[in-house]
C-alpha cells in the first residue's frame, strides 16, 4: 500500500511542477489559481511521501518519489510545454526510469 501512496505522491509532484510552469505563462487571477493548485499539489505530495516513508526506507522512498516527479515533469514539458525531445534527453530519461524500477525491486 505504501508503494501506491508513494507513486501517487510522485504524480502530485508532477502536478505541482506543471502548475508552476503554468504560473510562469499566465498573469492575474489565472496565475493565482495555478499557484493555488501548486500549493495544494505540493501539500498532498509531501503528506503522501511522509506517510509512505514510515514503512519504506527513506533513501529509497525519496529517490523513487523524486524520480517519478522528474520523469513526469520532463514528459509534461515535452508533451504540454513543447520542450525538445532530443535523443540524449530521452536516453537519460530511460536510464532514470530503469533506476527507479531497480530501486523498487531491491527494496524489501
State pLDDT tens for residues 65-105: 999 999 999 999 999 999 999 999 999 999 998 988 888 78
* Average pLDDT of the residues in 10-19: 95
Please, what is the average pLDDT of the chain? 92
d(CA 13, CA 45): 6
Question: Residues 5, 52: contact at Cβ < 8 Å?
Answer: yes
Tell me what percent of the residues of the chain surpass a pLDDT of 90. 80
- DSSP label at 55? T
Give yes or no for a contact between 46 and 5, defined as CB atoms under 8 angstroms apart: no
* Position 108 confidence tier, pLDDT thresholds 50, 70, 90: low
Every domain of the chain and the residues it spans: 2-106
For 26-86, where are the alpha helices, taking DSSP H only? 28-52, 58-79
Amino acid at each position: 500500500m505504501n508503494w501506491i501512496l508513494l507513486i501517487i505522491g510522485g504524480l502530485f509532484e508532477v502536478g505541482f511542477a506543471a502548475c508552476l510552469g503554468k504560473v510562469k505563462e499566465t498573469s492575474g487571477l489565472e496565475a493565482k489559481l495555478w499557484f493555488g493548485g501548486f500549493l495544494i499539489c505540493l501539500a498532498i505530495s509531501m503528506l503522501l511521501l511522509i506517510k509512505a516513508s514510515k514503512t519504506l526506507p527513506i533513501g529509497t522512498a525519496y529517490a523513487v518519489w523524486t524520480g517519478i516527479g522528474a520523469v513526469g515533469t520532463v514528459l509534461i514539458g515535452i508533451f504540454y510545454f513543447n520542450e525538445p525531445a532530443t535523443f540524449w534527453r530521452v536516453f537519460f530519461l530511460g536510464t532514470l526510469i530503469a533506476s527507479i524500477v531497480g530501486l523498487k525491486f531491491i527494496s524489501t
